[in-house]
Amino acid sequence: MTPPTVHSAAAPDTVDSGRIAAHLARFAQLTEAGEGCTRLAYTPLEREAHAVFTRHMTGLGLLVHTDPAGNTIAELPGDDDTLGAIGTGSHLDTVPHGGGFDGIAGVAAAMEIAEVVARRGVTHRRKWRFIAFAAEEGARFGQACNGSRMVAGLTGRADLDRLVDRDGRSMAEAMSAVGLHPDRIDDARWRPEDWHAFVELHIEQGEVLQSRGADIGVVDLISGSTRLRVAVHGRATHSGGTPMHLRHDALVVAAQCVTLGDRLARDEKHHGTRVTVGRLEVEPGSITTIPGAVDFSVDIRDVDTVRQRDVARRLAAEFDRIARAHGTSAQIDVLADTSPVLLSAAIAGQVRDSCAALGLSYRVLPSGASHDAQQINRIAPAALVFVPSRNGLSHAPQEFTSAAHIAGGSRVVLETMIRLDAEG
């Protein structure tokens, strides 16, 4: 069979949705039991997923290494070593009982783009890097984007002891347990002078694209997030023998905190603020005992950095007031705090031009979710390319994005990388 004619740049229509579907199916096998996909940060399952990524990229002839933070980086050398690299990628870990597309779509896209570039002999001046980031989800340790934060210098060695999971295991211990090197994460740092640009493909995790019938989302702004852990301590005692005026009920306090956060985020001054209590644990959790202790999380998101911190401060003060009013106490800790980020308008322009060149409709929109591109944007100008989520569902087993949509997004990322490669 005569080889396909190779353009000076890959004809973006050489992206194959069947290969992308096969990558998605392969990763979907690497999960704990139960509904949906469970492959948490710094677990053996996440490392197995990185091994699948490594085998694919090595098979294509790329140079592949895993850094001390657990990020796996595959590289295609360019013709001119003096030029900054361009990169694409996302993450392979999931939330508990999540879907098979959050993060994974961006890694599958990177694997397919690498295949198109390697097999069709696309010439490129710059180093092209394809990355699977480690531990992007905050579900296990509270902080999100851990692997990308470490390469961006936003998470240091001390944080790895501070961040612990629900079993009290620190991130450093979890990293060591899967063969990584928490003491050497400084070696994983990326140097800005070594980079030209980074483009991440990700599912939208909302339903703007579906409702507008757009193929592609071009993200201009990624929300910030402040995450709190609240431990309410009251007095556990008999539910029958204790009259109402003598109670110190930790769950009544927590319930008022939950509804306060929801009410604040819905008032007219907080359009764009989102407050969520996703985890709440009650002790002793017995039908005939007044709850003595409640531990819950608060996830505060906003596109406005000042308002985001103001909401966190106000909620902390209000939670403390409510706790005292019930003769209980509230310990409030900040688990993580990331600012909103305005992405590169120049690269977003390249993405829009790529959509136009490929005949794909697009819409510019903010991202409510946090992403690795948000952290990498500190190192190199970054772009975030969304593909539609069915009915906007994500972080749930019903999460779905078609391989065809991911292939369309992959073509846009490839076309954008070709344009970025030619810059400067």
What 3-state class would DSSP assign to 423? Answer: coil
CB-nearest residue to ligand HGY: 369
Q: Report whether 377 contacts 341 (CB < 8 A).
A: yes
Which CA distances in Å does 218 have to 145, 363, 374?
20, 6, 14
For residues 99 to 138, the per-residue mask of contacts with ligand HGY, x marking binding by CB under 6 A and - elsewhere, is -------------------------------------xxx
For residues 233 to 272, the per-residue mask of contacts with ligand HGY, x marking binding by CB under 6 A and - elsewhere, is ----------------------------------------
> Which helix (H) or strand (E) covers residue 364, if one does?
strand 362-367
Q: What is the DSSP string of 235-257?
A: ---BTTTS-GGG---HHHHHHHH
37 binds, among ligand HGY, Mn ion, none (CB under 5 to 8 A by kind): none
Closest separation between CB of residue 100 and Mn ion, Å? 12
Q: Report whether 24 contacts 100 (CB < 8 A).
A: yes
Site for ligand HGY contains 37 (CB under 6 A): no
First to last CA, the chain: 37
Site for Mn ion contains 399 (CB under 5 A): no
Number of residues engaging ligand HGY in binding (CB under 6 A): 6
Site for ligand HGY contains 298 (CB under 6 A): no
Among left, alpha and beta (phi > 0; psi -120 to 50; other), residue 90 is beta
Closer residue to ligand HGY, CB minimum distance, 144 or 355: 144
Closer residue to ligand HGY, CB minimum distance, 273 or 370: 370
144 binds, among ligand HGY, Mn ion, none (CB under 5 to 8 A by kind): ligand HGY
Task: Report the 3 state secondary structure along 261-288.
Answer: HHHHHHCHHHECEEEECCCEEEECCCCC
Closer residue to ligand HGY, CB minimum distance, 136 or 295: 136
Cβ neighbors of 424 (< 8 A, separation 6 or more) are 83, 196
Give the one residue of 36, 70, 78, 103 binding Mn ion; rule: CB under 5 A.
Answer: 103
Task: Enumerate residues 135-174 that contact ligand HGY by CB under 6 A.
Answer: 136-138, 144
**What whole-number distance in Å separates Cα of residue 140 and Cα of residue 290?**
28
Task: Enumerate residues 356-395 that contact ligand HGY by CB under 6 A.
Answer: 369-370
Site for Mn ion contains 102 (CB under 5 A): yes
Site for Mn ion contains 200 (CB under 5 A): no
**What whole-number distance in Å separates Cα of residue 247 and Cα of residue 242?**
7
Closest separation between CB of residue 258 and ligand HGY, Å? 19
For 100, the token pair is: 């098979």
Q: Count of CB atoms within 10 A of residue 123's CB?
A: 14
Closer residue to ligand HGY, CB minimum distance, 78 or 138: 138
204 binds, among ligand HGY, Mn ion, none (CB under 5 to 8 A by kind): none
Closest separation between CB of residue 139 and ligand HGY, Å? 8
Closest separation between CB of residue 368 and ligand HGY, Å? 7
**What whole-number distance in Å separates Cα of residue 51 and Cα of residue 396?**
25
Which CA distances in Å does 216 have to 99, 154, 359?
20, 30, 11
Tell me which stretch binds Mn ion (CB under 5 A): 97-105, 236-244, 377-385, 410-418: 97-105
Site for Mn ion contains 100 (CB under 5 A): no
370 binds, among Mn ion, ligand HGY, none (CB under 5 to 8 A by kind): ligand HGY
Site for Mn ion contains 421 (CB under 5 A): no
Q: Which residue has the tokens 């030029």?
A: 83
List the one residue out of 363, 341, 343, 342 whose CA is nearest residue 352.
363
Number of residues engaging Mn ion in binding (CB under 5 A): 2
* 135: Cα within 13 Å, side-chain hemisphere: 30
Please give the residue ranges that form the binding site for Mn ion (CB under 5 A). Answer: 102-103
Please give the residue ranges that form the binding site for ligand HGY (CB under 6 A). Answer: 136-138, 144, 369-370
